[in-house]
A = this chain, B = another copy of it.
């Protein structure tokens, strides 16, 4: 008897879906399509030579330990590096607060695994990061959405949501939001911390792009605002109600799969247990190679170069949007990161536009992918990071043509 697997799946598996973005990437990998869709960092900036030299040095210096099993918490020198790096942003932590993860996607998964029971509510931004929805939905989370405006999450609406839904945590992406392109203002961060403290709701701060600010003033991470209030910062240790996460995917290379979580020691221990069951530990060799590349100050200079490149590309995209897009269309103006967010004329459907766009040989991500509740039909996400400026101009021109066609069809 050969049976169907369908009925055997766990409840949680029923909500699992393949990421829309990953599906789109398959469609748009044709060389004649200009893709403004993927969230890929610019590959021409990857430090190929430095990685090659690091591989050789690690294998010769460390020998077989570079290929052996290692501890679940992660390679200690890399965690020390992260502690030092974060201290420059005011985050006071020790190695015991840091867990190396297999990309920040795994950080999201482990937070979900440790905290979420079926039906637990998470307060999220609308739109929010699609990978977070994927990670948390696997643990059968529900969502209470708070809209974004130009200052980030509309924090004034959060208290009502807390009272109404008793959330397990608030998930927030404060810097150069994916997909929104906006940044949470300092005033709102402080208000959010106050609310979280008042109601005892933890904050999960996802900060993959924080270092990629190419304009405007740095705003302290939520975890720093929380710690300062708590007096932890002065005390020199990491406590409180915030789980912070970041990644080397946007500053070094995503193919190494290296992210990290910073959390209070008691939560970190639980996350380490969850990680042991999930994949024992993140690749020993990848961690050592990354550390070897960045140990001597490489990253600072390198991140400056990334910022400068992305700034030019953002400028090219903003100029092209201004030049080619009809005035009914609006967009955000990011001060960093990889993405901007477009609002289409009311009533236009991003899925229908996608079909038109593919005909014009340009791709984007339909906005609906970023809503936990299926909204966002008149929105889309554009990436400026991975396209040379001249292709950005051409891509936006093609997309404008597709939008024009949809407008005429609707008329």
Query: A residues bordering B, Cβ < 8 Å?
Result: 1-6, 8-13, 16-19, 22, 26, 38, 40-41, 43-44, 46, 48, 51-52, 55-56, 59-60, 63-72, 101-103, 105-106, 109, 113-117, 120, 131, 134-135, 137-139, 168-169, 197-198, 200, 202, 230, 239-241, 249, 253-257, 264, 266-267, 269-270, 272-274, 276-286
Instruction: Compute how far the CA of A70 lies from the CA of B25 in the bound complex, rounded to whole angstroms.
Output: 10
If A69-B40, A135-B277 touch, does A117 touch B254 (CB 8 Å cutoff)? no
Contact check, B16 vs A43: say whether CB atoms are below 8 A apart: no
Cβ–Cβ < 8 Å partners of A109 in chain B: 277-279
Contact check, A279 vs B102: say whether CB atoms are below 8 A apart: yes
Contact of A69 among B134, B254, B282, B286 (CB under 8 A): B254
Contact check, B117 vs A10: say whether CB atoms are below 8 A apart: yes
Contact check, B106 vs A1: say whether CB atoms are below 8 A apart: no
Q: Give the residue name and chain of the B residue nearest to A264 (CB).
A: B5
Instruction: Compute how far the CA of A198 lies from the CA of B1 in the bound complex, rounded to whole angstroms.
Output: 7
Q: Give the residue name and chain of the B residue nearest to A276 (CB).
A: B19
Most buried by B among A22, A26, A264: A22
Instruction: Compute how far the CA of A198 lies from the CA of B2 in the bound complex, rounded to whole angstroms.
Output: 10
Q: Give the residue name and chain of the B residue nearest to A285 (CB).
A: B255
Cβ–Cβ < 8 Å partners of A137 in chain B: 277
Distance (whole angstroms) from the CB of A306 to the closest CB of chain B: 14
Q: How many copies of this chain does one complex carry? A: 2
Instruction: Compute how far the CA of A241 lies from the CA of B22 in the bound complex, rounded to whole angstroms.
Output: 28
Binding site secondary structure of chain A: helix
Most buried by B among A3, A6, A44, A278: A278
If A5-B267, A16-B274, A105-B279 touch, does A52 touch B59 (CB 8 Å cutoff)? yes
Instruction: Compute how far the CA of A115 lies from the CA of B38 in the bound complex, rounded to whole angstroms.
Output: 31
Contact check, A17 vs B273: say whether CB atoms are below 8 A apart: yes
Contacts A13-B114, A67-B253 aside, 19 further interface pairs with beta carbons under 8 A come to A8-B169, A10-B139, A11-B117, A13-B115, A13-B270, A16-B273, A18-B273, A41-B68, A43-B67, A46-B68, A48-B67, A52-B56, A52-B59, A52-B60, A56-B56, A69-B249, A131-B280, A256-B284, A283-B286
If A5-B264, A13-B115 touch, does A134 touch B255 (CB 8 Å cutoff)? no
Q: Give the residue name and chain of the B residue nearest to A64 (CB).
A: B43
Cβ–Cβ < 8 Å partners of A12 in chain B: 113, 117
Distance (whole angstroms) from the CB of A224 to the closest CB of chain B: 16
Distance (whole angstroms) from the CB of A141 to the closest CB of chain B: 10
Contact check, B18 vs A68: say whether CB atoms are below 8 A apart: no
25 interchain pairs (CB within 8 A)?
A1-B198, A2-B240, A5-B266, A10-B115, A10-B139, A12-B117, A16-B270, A16-B273, A18-B273, A22-B71, A26-B71, A46-B68, A52-B56, A52-B59, A67-B255, A69-B249, A69-B254, A69-B255, A103-B279, A105-B280, A138-B274, A255-B283, A257-B279, A278-B278, A285-B286
